[in-house]
Amino acid sequence: MLFVATVYYVKFPEMSRKQAESSSKERQEGKTDPGASRHGNFINYYQFHPAEERVRQLPCGVWRSSHPDRKYVVLDIGCNAGDLTFALHDFLESALSVDQPKEICLLGVDLDPILIERARERNRRPDRIIFECLDFLDEDRNRTLAKYLRRFEKSRFDVVFCFSVVMWIHLNHGDEGLVKFLQKVCSITDMVVVEPQLWKCYRNASRRLRRLKGEEFPLLKTLKFTGDLTMHIERILTESCNFRKVTVTGENEWKRRLLIYERT
Ligand SMILES: C[S@@+](CC[C@H](N)C(=O)[O-])C[C@H]1O[C@@H](n2cnc3c(N)ncnc32)[C@H](O)[C@@H]1O
């Protein structure tokens, strides 16, 4: 077992040893490898990316609401099994309590029905957090999002979080899909938080999909937004979405920054 895990670790150096050991175990048991996925819908993602560490990167004091008298309404796109969604709820509750105590209401969406089922089963705040299965690139999302916002008499979310989801949108829908995604996100929110993945993650995702499932991302070779994804995303947010920068955080341990932008 140690040998198999070591081979895995050498093959996928960006995985932690713990992740490599788990991968090799799952493969020996005939389960799907968690390192190969078409949409980033890894079933045990939070075993390797603890949610609490991720929210530590978020600044306090930037979370404004255009309706200070109403609830603070949040969308988490690509919520996976919900761990980060729960941590975001708790973070915002304490961040907003300093000068404008508010009820935080959060909608987590993901295209994977199994992950949504998991998130619902483990939901410890069903009064504040709900999960819906939808593909954010699908027009059908509008009905679900509009229905949710209506509950709070709002036409837009206060903030939309896009953590580690943009690369999967980009790989599956190309440059045009990425621009459409960000334009749609900005059209339904006053503030957006994007965690772009590094270009090396694109190559790794593609290599794993090819090696482990014999599949490709057909649009990868057509992409013109390559290299520094942060720069491309910032340009789309300012030039195509008319949003302005609130702040960009320092890098976390995987060298990822959070881009925080708002409606002008
Ligand atoms: C790598 S995980 C990141 C999970 C979480 N956002 C985080 O950072 O902890 C990416 C998630 O995005 C979801 N996803 C990918 N494309 C999506 C889409 N078009 N619509 C909704 N969810 C999507 C995947 O199913 C997966 O659960």
Residue-wise pLDDT tens digits, 219-251:
999 999 999 999 999 999 999 999 999 999 999
Q: Whose CA is nearest to atom 5 of ligand 1?
A: 79
196 lines ligand 1 (CB under 6 A): no
Task: Write the pLDDT tens digit of every residue in 17-72.
Answer: 444 344 434 434 334 455 689 999 999 999 988 999 899 999 999 998 888 788 99
Q: How confident is the model at residue 185 (pLDDT cuts 50, 70, 90)?
A: very high
Q: What is the distance between the alpha carbons of residues 107 and 87, in angstroms, rounded to a whole number?
A: 13
Atom of ligand 1 nearest to the CA of 169: 16
Q: Specify the pLDDT at position 26.
A: 42
Given ligand 1 and candidates 167, 168, 204, 209, which is best to mutate, with the most ligand atoms within 8 Å of its CB? 168
Of 15, 37, 38, 41, which is best to mutate to test ligand 1, by the most ligand atoms within 8 angstroms of its C-beta? 41
Which of 30, 40, 160 minimizes the C-alpha distance to 107?
A: 160
Q: Which residue in the block uniquely carries the two structure tokens 């939070």?
A: 46
Please give the Cα distance from 132 to 110 (Å, whole number): 7
Q: Give every CB contact of residue 162 below 8 A, 6+ residues apart in sequence.
A: 77, 78, 185, 192, 193, 194, 195
Which pLDDT does position 122 carry in this prediction?
A: 97
Residue 112 alpha carbon to ligand 1 centre in Å = 8
- Which range has the worst mean pLDDT, 84-88, 173-177, 213-217? 213-217
Q: How far is the CA of 49 from the centre of ligand 1 (A)?
A: 13
**Contact between residue 110 and residue 38 where contact means Cβ atoms under 8 Å apart:** no
Report pLDDT for 34.
Answer: 56
**98-133 tens-digit pLDDT:** 777 789 999 999 999 999 999 999 999 999 999 999
| pLDDT reported for residue 189 | 98
pLDDT at residue 35, as a whole number: 67
Query: Ligand 1 pocket, 258 CB below 6 A?
Result: no
Question: Hunting for tokens 């799952």 — which residue is that?
Answer: 26
